[in-house]
Chains A and B, each alone.
Chain A
């Protein structure tokens, strides 16, 4: 009699342990796979930012061929560019990227004053490449933010939130687009 009860109790306890262990394992695995996706998308962003950075010198040189004296603009671009190359965290990358966008829009203001430059096929090609890269950055950023949100939501949800810290998972930053970068500061003489 007693043995039967003991066996049943032990059976129930082991079943509970198996269930808990099972769900812990699956939680860990899904967090891990989401984290992997996040890192993958982050790598895409980095690659596109790098590509943008690489395109800049050719673009600037083409413009310099027509407007050699716009030093402040070229300096702003060079500064933003080195900041971008030195960025490591998501936040640093987002900030540097915004700064570069800002500097580039100043460059485009300059370009507007030189119709010959605007019609230059080399310049048009470079502009297309740059615009394409920027579009890729936007796409990569949106894709990244989407998975980042999935991961963060999961980390915050119950009962995953109890174990996430234990497993070493923390919420990740979103890649913000700095809205203020859209206002191009006017070039003053």
Chain B
């Protein structure tokens, strides 16, 4: 009896946790730094972007987030972008060093929204120039994957320069990212703890749905398994800076 209700209770908490992170119009994916809702970024670029974004975040607390959506549904991209950036709390709370790169497919518009802490490094003219230089030609040819990757990389580099004084590729070593391993230490520890707890109730019997569920979430690729939903920096100090283009 106890085993069953514990199972249900734990399942409920997992479910409730997932629910509570779904507030507002659009929720980010587990891969906070790349949210390809319009499905236009190929998986290699997506993975590379995520790893860069995660690395930048871990080394500087700055967050560059990319979002693609099918349609703005009648809203204008400026207000859409700033609502999203504020709601997701992009960037750290103390420094407001967040950047949102958003592309709306139907409307063929792209925008870079810059947090107040980065407005000096990424002023409006520079954002426009970045889009013109690294993105627009690709977007016009519908090569969104390359265009977004290039713009994203450019943004990562600018932010890294601002935060550390060095270009991104001087610090960044792809082979060192933990995503390569396919699981995270946090997840593994969590699993061990849970197994120990469950063992106490079960009396040594294995199997069942719950341990599998926890195991699978710990071993999820991309290194996000250890802290799902924990990426938001708590920032959201956006005052409307940035630039956009239509193509």
Contact = CB atoms under 8 A, between A and B. Distances in A.
Contacts of B124: 128-129, 131-133
Contact of B240 (A121, A127, A139): A139
A136 interface: yes
Interface string B226-246: 000000000000111111100
B243 A131 contact: yes
Contacts of B243: 128, 131-132
Contact of B127 (A44, A128, A139): A128
A138 interface: yes
A148 interface: no
A14 interface: no
Contacts of A132: 123-124, 127, 240-243
Contacts of A140: 239-240
B132 interface: yes
A23 interface: no
Interface in A109-148: 121, 124-129, 131-133, 135-140
Contact-size category for B: 10 to 19
Contact of B128 (A124, A133, A135, A138): A124
Interface residues of A, number: 17
B66 interface: no
Interface centre among A124, A132, A140, by most chain B C-beta atoms within 10 angstroms, is A132
Contacts of A128: 124-125, 127-129, 243
Given A129-B125, A139-B238, 16 more contacts: A44-B239, A124-B129, A126-B125, A128-B127, A128-B129, A128-B243, A129-B124, A131-B124, A131-B243, A132-B124, A132-B240, A132-B241, A135-B241, A135-B242, A136-B240, A139-B82
